[in-house]
Amino acid sequence: MAFPTFTLHSKLESAIFNGHPWIYRDHLPDFHDLETGEWVQVISGKARAYGLYDDSSPIAIRLFGREEPSAGFIAERVQTALELRQMLFDKNTNAHRLISGEGDFLPGITVDRYGRYAVVQTYADCLETILPEVVRALSKGSFPLKGIVRRVDGVMQSLWGELPPPELSILENGLTIIANLYDGQKTGLFLDHRDNRALLGRLATGKTVLNLFAYTGAFSLYAARGGASKISSVDIAPAAMEDAKRNFALNGFDPEQHDFLAADCFTLLETYVKEGKKFDVVILDPPSLARSKDNRYAAARAYKKLNLLALRCVNDGGMLASASCTSQISPDHFKEILLEAGLDARKRLQILQENGHAPDHPVPVAFPEGRYLKFVLTRVL
């Protein structure tokens, strides 16, 4: 089959050859007559790849690989993605990423599983071309689903099967967690931190824990199961804190024994620093503080301030578990920020473990930008 073809600058040859999935608009000629959702071929030197053209986003072409798109290739990619998840999870976890966009060589589309429901997210209009094939392959795939949905402008759409109930609970490493697919953040839960939560749980025995930006308290639940003596969970969203309390009760932990505060973490930390209030373990998992390259430096300053305040609230010999979910700050940059915060706080930091997202969020070798999540566990001396 003949595909519309763009011959691009030779400086893109190695990225395309290696399998980088994005071509930005400024690499395309100003005038062409392509429409969103069309398959196109790009050539640069000896490299060649095929992708979907998009008129509406800064990423003008999402590349799917060197082979010509053929009937059934999307279904094969979905199947390959599902096989990975079959390998990764047992009956104690039924919520995880099923398709991780670029990481599963299906750029621009993610699918999360919450028990018998799958939640799709598409990041550009061009993905509508392959969406029906993705949905068909998922509905026939190895995870038995009742419904496949997506949330568009806050409205839940059924793509296949039935709509999920207003609230459902899922299992993560044997813990029961409420997931609100209609109004929750992300697609319902922050699935990417699963392994970081498990790590934290193993270290929490007998400790006082401050879980900042806690959402519905998933880190706190692991700390409770790990035997933490007292857990304080803080999030600005009162509804998230209510769900956190309910999550504790669902898992047999008495919420009355712990603190749940709907508050601004920056202000609260400043108050704790003034009061000299300290904890054995502080968890920092703020929302993305940089949405674009332009505010990367402002974000770096905010991360530093936050980490500095948090370090002042850690008991000597305690731990800071600090995360950043913005791809604008690289893993190395994030550690520089921690170093600066440690110096200002007059603390020595030992890195105990450095993680990213869990393996159901794979990253292609040719796409380092895909590694958005940083999680650094340090001992504070």
Applying CB under 6 A, the residues found at the interface with ligand SAM are 185, 190, 193, 213-215, 218-219, 235-237, 240, 264-266, 285-287, 325
Least spacing, CB of residue 184 vs ligand SAM, in Å: 9
Short-list 153, 116, 101, 161, CA closest to 135: 161
Neighbours of 233 (CB within 10 A): 32
Of residues 129 and 327, the one with the C-beta less far from ligand SAM:
327
Least spacing, CB of residue 178 vs ligand SAM, in Å: 11
Of residues 50 and 303, the one with the C-beta less far from ligand SAM:
303
Least spacing, CB of residue 83 vs ligand SAM, in Å: 27
Of residues 61 and 319, the one with the C-beta less far from ligand SAM:
319
Of residues 103 and 201, the one with the C-beta less far from ligand SAM:
201
Of residues 61 and 240, the one with the C-beta less far from ligand SAM:
240
Of residues 32 and 291, the one with the C-beta less far from ligand SAM:
291
Least spacing, CB of residue 212 vs ligand SAM, in Å: 7
Least spacing, CB of residue 197 vs ligand SAM, in Å: 6
Token reading at 76: 């094969």
Of residues 64 and 213, the one with the C-beta less far from ligand SAM:
213
Token reading at 224: 């409770």
3-state secondary structure the chain: CCCCEEECCHHHHHHHHHCCCEEEHHHCCCCCCCCCCCEEEEEECCEEEEEEECCCCCEEEEEEECCCCCCCHHHHHHHHHHHHHHHHCCCCCCEEEEEEHHHHCCCCEEEEEECCEEEEEECCHHHHHCHHHHHHHHHCCCCCCCEEEEEECCEEEEEEECCCCCCEEEEECCEEEEECCCCCCCCCCCHHHHHHHHHHHHHCCCCEEEEECCCCCHHHHHHHHCCCCEEEEEECCHHHHHHHHHHHHHCCCCHHHCEEEECCHHHHHHHHHHHCCCEEEEEECCCCCCCCHHHHHHHHHHHHHHHHHHHCCEEEEEEEEEEECCCCCCHHHHHHHHHHHHHHHCCCEEEEEEECCCCCCCCCCCCHHHCCCEEEEEEEC
Of residues 160 and 266, the one with the C-beta less far from ligand SAM:
266
Look up tokens 């999307």; give the residue.
74
Of residues 140 and 301, the one with the C-beta less far from ligand SAM:
301
Least spacing, CB of residue 44 vs ligand SAM, in Å: 37
Of residues 159 and 284, the one with the C-beta less far from ligand SAM:
284
Neighbours of 354 (CB within 10 A): 13
Least spacing, CB of residue 267 vs ligand SAM, in Å: 8
Least spacing, CB of residue 368 vs ligand SAM, in Å: 21
Cα–chain center distance at 151: 17
Least spacing, CB of residue 261 vs ligand SAM, in Å: 9
Least spacing, CB of residue 146 vs ligand SAM, in Å: 24
